[in-house]
């Protein structure tokens, strides 16, 4: 059985909710990632911040990324998966919620992140096609 832990990208890092978006952008650049999980004061997942969130939700709205925090951008219920979950559960979670990045949690701590690139490296062509069709077909029509 292939698990979330088998396909995830290790070394994911939190951005604390109190950190500003300019700091988040710097961390994204340092880590060469387009998204960061947001943690609360207890290092629990409270959201995910993407580079698009910073551009569209802050800069394009005329806000100063040095004054807006990651926590202010956290919206909705964060989705995550346990590291021992089967890859089919990963795909179901990502399809159902139409998400492209999924934090991997082990013992209530962030241990990795699964992105579309991770799926592409580890899944069969059929699994990738089904995932892409379900996520992109709905998001393009909605």
What is the model's pLDDT at position 124? Answer: 81
pLDDT value at residue 141: 47
Q: Which single residue is written with the structure tokens 């926590």?
A: 71
Domains of the chain (ranges, CATH numbers): 4-141 (3.10.580.10)
CA distances from 138 to 42, 96, 121 (A): 35, 11, 23
Report how far residue 97's alpha carbon sits from residue 103's, in angstroms, rounded to the nearest whole number. 13
pLDDT (0 to 100) of residue 139? 52
What does the pLDDT read at residue 137?
Answer: 65
pLDDT along the chain (142 residues), means of 10: 91 93 96 91 89 94 96 87 94 89 90 90 81 68 48
DSSP helix/strand/coil, 5: helix
């Amino acid at each position: 059985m292939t698990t979330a832990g088998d396909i995830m990208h290790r070394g994911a890092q939190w951005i604390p909710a109190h950190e500003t978006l300019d700091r988040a952008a710097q961390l994204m650049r340092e880590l060469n990632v387009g998204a960061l999980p947001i943690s609360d004061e207890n290092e629990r997942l409270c959201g995910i911040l993407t580079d698009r969130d910073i551009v569209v939700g802050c800069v394009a709205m005329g806000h100063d990324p040095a004054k807006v925090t990651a926590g202010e951008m956290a919206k909705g219920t964060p989705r995550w998966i346990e590291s021992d979950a089967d890859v089919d559960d990963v795909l179901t979670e990502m399809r159902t919620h139409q998400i492209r990045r999924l934090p991997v949690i082990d013992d209530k701590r962030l241990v990795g992140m699964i992105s579309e690139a991770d799926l592409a490296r580890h899944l069969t062509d059929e699994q990738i096609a089904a995932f892409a069709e379900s996520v992109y077909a709905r998001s393009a029509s909605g």
